[in-house]
Chain A
Amino acid sequence: MNKGLHRYTLLVTGATFFLLIAGALVTSHDAGLATSDWPLSNGQVFPRMVGNLFWEHGHRMVATTVGLLTIGLALYFFKSEQRTRVRRLGILALAVVIAQGLLGGLTVKLNLPLAVSAAHATLAQLFFCTVVSLSVFTSRGWFENRPMLTEKGSVPLRYLSVAATITIFLQLILGATLRHSATWDHFLPTELVLAHIGGAVAVVLMLGATIALVLKRYGGESYLTKPALLASGLLLLQICLGVAAYLTRLKSPYDPQPLNPMVEITVAHVACGALVFATTIVLTLRIFRTVKATEAAFEFAHV
């Protein structure tokens, strides 16, 4: 295990989480078009941070920092990582962050079209997913010798956890589309709200089943139960934040500008969604690390 590489990856992961919050603040403050310039703001590298330009340009500065950190990450993995797939993932992270930066520029130059804005928000979660995975792959727990567990039951936990991760990712896409479909001064489209609520039910079922099976089958394995319990707590918090975000968002079109608590609660909902996603990825990777694939699961994998 390379402690330095792991710590650096954790630093990039933390910075990326902060960047997600900074991006969510831009959307909630309706600051995405505070300047019509990109990559400069009003023709300047360091403009006066007037009004919403603070959020938009602040987001760009944090994004630049994460971009530079990711260049370092890719170089670090290229130089130090022995496992080919993990090394490639480290380099892929750089490609993702470059694509994300270009998408961010497109959102400004095209005046925030829904598809591009939602893609920008979705790719942000994918990048976060990538660096979280790299953090897991470089962690001490991943390298420790631990006995492989066998699948205990008819439902393979490996595939259930993957299904939960995919469900959460689809829900994140729905959430991003919903958030970018209307600014604070317009009402959210009912059909997208209903789809997002439906997605929440699906996430509760899939992730809830995964957590329940982990606790039931491997209750003594803290390597699995810790992320499972954390995911359950975050999921509960996320549902509460989702209800609160919806209620505050219902009132925001009547307000003279984006106000708290709408801004804070919707941003917290985005951030908590990312944490649910990250924790589920950690859980899924740990399941793949410790739970042996069953014959049935193997066959399923080759269908």
Chain B
Amino acid sequence: MKSSNEGDYWLDRPGSVDKVYWSVWIGCAALLLVEPLIHMHAEVSIAQWFGFNGLFGFVSCVALVIAAKWLRRFLMRPEDYYDR
């Protein structure tokens, strides 16, 4: 189905995905580095700790995915499960 005269896409080039991947790391590092420059205030005291939001985001997403993957054992059925 792919046509041969398809345009050249940056994401298809070797190494591009790596660049995206490492730029996420760099972006996150930058977000942590600027934190001391900004006066953090929040309604909940724990949210004012250094790096709290980043750590919370990372840990909760990893936990979410691992838990959901584990749930597949109990919840996943073949696509025609209800039609049989």
| Co-assembled chains A and B | no
